[in-house]
Structure 1
Amino acid sequence: MLLRAVFYVILCMIAAHVLNTLYLFGYFKTVYKHYPGHCRVVPGVDLGSEDVTVTSDGLAFISSGLRGFGNKSDPLLQPPLLRGKIFLFDFNHPEKNAVEVALDGDFDRENFYPIGISLYEDSTTGEKKLFVVNNHISNKNRVEIFRFDERTSSLHHLKTIIGETLYSLNDLVAVGPETFYYTNFLYFTKPMPLALTLEMYSGLAWGTIGLYSEGKDMIISSGYRLPDGINVSPDGRNLYVAIFLTGELAIFERGKDDSITEIQRVSLHTSPDNIEVDRETGDLWIGCIPSLHLHMAHLENYANPGTSQVLRLRFGDQNSPFENIDVREVLMDDGSLIKGSSVASYYDNKMLVGTVVHKLAYCELSAF
């Protein structure tokens, strides 16, 4: 009798896990199509626009050429023909579209595959530094720091950062000239297909959040199922992390020593990727994957449909900003425009929507 009861309990636990996994992967979700106004594909950015970040004066940096996805038989999608690039888009002149940024300096240009990016603007000198997660060919993740030369519209390499806890980098956010928080998407990195499958389907929460400061890297929080995008509030008081697999936004309070304390979770009921923050309002703009199982099929074969979604989160008043959070869907796409959105960057009622390995979209928010 006892063994039978134990058997039924285990069976129920397995069934609950399977149903939860199917829910998280979007098997019960219907994807409709709607745009916030006129949207178009930005020509020239064809092999991904995984992350986008915008300066205070409307210049958007775009990372492109993420290694490791797509048809293995297609030589155009593999090194050395696939090259990582940074593009620049001017929101003030959207008709000029995106242009590739020249990269110079002493770094491994041949093995440069950018993913997450973050911009640090020095309020005193006006200097702009771009921090870039580099999915290096050796599988030793690293962070590249560049200085942006506005006169020549080029990026000059300043430093490469490698550390023991920088092992499965997905995104980062700069909070100082050489200080940044980062997310490790996975715990295991080799072999990658097996590691990804294990952590996606097993329910293991082994993702981490780290801090690099004063030349040292360290894990400061753990226990997340595929932590992804990361950003900070305009006043620097709060840290935001997208928990990709559980469909949540984790909100942290930052300490004076850069420690973090989680204060709230917001359920988004989708798979959130990168987070961009409106400098003026503090609103969060999040690129999401509404149907994860379709997205995985798209990564295996780019011809397969991939779904896209953009959410905007607006916080409450200053006295209780996290009590009445307004979550609105800005865009949903079934693959007609773009496939697999990973980021949405807003400026002056206009928006760029990037993708993991597909194209880049520009939208005017006339109907939102």
Structure 2
Amino acid sequence: MWKKTILTIIGFLLENIMRMRMNLGYFPVSANIKPESCRLIENMGFGSEDITIIPSGVALISTGLKSQIIPDLSGGKPGKMYFLDLNDDDAVPVPFDFSADFNSMNFNPHGISHFMDHSDGAEKILLFVVNHPNHDSQVDIFHVNLESKLLIYQKTVQHDLLPQHVYVADSTNKEVKVMKRKEDNSLSLQKVIKLHVLPDNIEVDRKTGSLWIGCLPSLWPLVFYGTKHSPGSEVVRIDCPSSAEPSVTTIYSNNGSELQSSSVAARHESHLLIGTVFHRMMRCTLPIIPLEC
């Protein structure tokens, strides 16, 4: 009887281990897919974990994320914020300075988002940065001054449960959850979109409503970096995410030979930027195709 019990326990453990390996993408990506016109951006070889694009076509980029499970290719330097003008094909990323009242030496930027503030009659760009100084977690808010290349510190928000928004990336289960906001600002689950990869940051196309997502084909090569397989990269686009039949398309896929650990994809007009957790950044040109949902 005890032998049967032990075999049952072993079988249960093996089943769950295999399920975890599949969910976390144990098997690395095999196919390389890339738009025709792509190029790596120079001097951005230490990560571009998140990217958000303001309506004028200027991309804001967080770099230098540090964590215990990812390599640090910056040599221990603090994280930085950059901007890149996508209206200029020859533009290069430009670093921001910080106002004197912000401690930039412990800056460890993760996810970012922006808000166009018109409350006082003039347009103001507010940048929200998930920051991990000394492995803590907080959201720092800045006023963006592009002309002065300056991020002007506004305030810091800390809370145990920082809120998620309408589209939620569930990396563990390889899915995107579509949430519906109620009148009382609570969220209810509307649908779940299954993916074949692990989604990270989500960017919403302002014109089409499509979701552009930087994804990891496999988590294992990132956790055990430096072994046989490199952490690959994949970008998926979800068209009509709120409709009855969302469409999922792979736009870019690489086994790590060109781009490792993609974390974000942001599109503006015909321009696409692909950022990574700790590696390089890529710029692509895509055709503009009308979308009907």
Does TM, normalized by the shorter one, top 0.5? yes
Question: What amino acid sits opposite 1:41 in the alignment?
Answer: L
How far apart are residue 43 of structure 1 and its match? 1.1
How far apart are residue 113 of structure 1 and its match? 0.8
In the alignment, which of 348, 352, 357 is matched to residue 273 of structure 2?
352
Cα distance in 2 for partners of 1:6, 1:129 equals: 59
Question: Please, which runs of 5 or more residues in structure 2 have no aligned partner?
Answer: none
- Number of the residue aligned with 1:47: 46
Change (3 A) 1:357 1:302: farther
In structure 2, the residue corresponding to 1:357 is in which secondary structure? coil
Cα distance in 2 for partners of 1:4, 1:253 equals: 50
Is the CA contact 1:289–1:295 (under 8 Å) kept in the aligned structure 2?
no
Say which is worse superposed, 88-97 or 148-157, in terms of deviation: 148-157
Q: CA RMSD in A?
A: 2.4
In structure 2, the residue corresponding to 1:110 is in which secondary structure? helix
In the alignment, which of 140, 148, 153 is matched to residue 152 of structure 1?
148
- Number of the residue aligned with 1:127: 124
How far apart are residue 304 of structure 1 and its match? 6.3
Change (3 A) 1:323 1:123: farther
Is the CA contact 1:36–1:366 (under 8 Å) kept in the aligned structure 2?
no
In the alignment, which of 125, 138, 141 is matched to residue 142 of structure 1?
138
Cα distance in 2 for partners of 1:336, 1:105 equals: 40
Cα distance in 2 for partners of 1:27, 1:354 equals: 22
In the alignment, which of 324, 328, 332 is matched to residue 245 of structure 2?
324
Higher RCO (C-alpha 8 Å, min separation 6): 2
In structure 2, the residue corresponding to 1:246 is in which secondary structure? coil
State yes or no: 1:333 paired with 2:244. Answer: no
In structure 2, the residue corresponding to 1:257 is in which secondary structure? coil
How far apart are residue 107 of structure 1 and its match? 1.9
Question: What amino acid sits opposite 2:154 in the alignment?
Answer: L
Cα distance in 1 for partners of 2:38, 2:148 equals: 30
Is the CA contact 1:24–1:292 (under 8 Å) kept in the aligned structure 2?
no
Cα distance in 1 for partners of 2:84, 2:255 equals: 25
Is the CA contact 2:113–2:127 (under 8 Å) kept in the aligned structure 1?
yes
Is the CA contact 1:276–1:284 (under 8 Å) kept in the aligned structure 2?
yes
Normalising by structure 2, we get a TM-score of: 0.89
Sequence identity of aligned pairs in percent? Answer: 31
Is the CA contact 2:269–2:288 (under 8 Å) kept in the aligned structure 1?
no
In the alignment, which of 236, 239, 251 is matched to residue 311 of structure 1?
236
How far apart are residue 297 of structure 1 and its match? 2.6
Normalising by structure 1, we get a TM-score of: 0.72
State yes or no: 1:161 paired with 2:161. Answer: no
- 1:1-368 matches, cutoff 5 A: 1=1, 6-69=5-68, 70=70, 77-78=75-76, 82-123=77-118, 125-137=122-134, 139-163=135-159, 165=160, 210-211=162-163, 231=165, 239-298=166-225, 301=226, 305-315=230-240, 321-366=242-287
Change (3 A) 1:64 1:304: farther
Say which is worse superposed, 38-47 or 54-63, in terms of deviation: 38-47
How far apart are residue 328 of structure 1 and its match? 0.2
Change (3 A) 1:128 1:252: same
Is the CA contact 1:307–1:340 (under 8 Å) kept in the aligned structure 2?
yes
Cα distance in 2 for partners of 1:303, 1:294 equals: 8
Is the CA contact 1:242–1:273 (under 8 Å) kept in the aligned structure 2?
yes
1:186-232 superposed Cα distances (whole Å, 9 cap, x missing partner): xxxxxxxxxxxxxxxxxxxxxxxx43xxxxxxxxxxxxxxxxxx65x
Question: Please, which runs of 5 or more residues in structure 1 have no aligned partner?
Answer: 167-209, 212-229, 232-238
Cα distance in 1 for partners of 2:15, 2:219 equals: 19
Question: How many residue pairs get matched?
Answer: 286
Change (3 A) 1:29 1:307: closer
Change (3 A) 1:28 1:109: closer
How far apart are residue 364 of structure 1 and its match? 1.0
Cα distance in 2 for partners of 1:356, 1:150 equals: 25
1:272-322 superposed Cα distances (whole Å, 9 cap, x missing partner): 110000011110000000022122233xx4996220000000017xxxx33
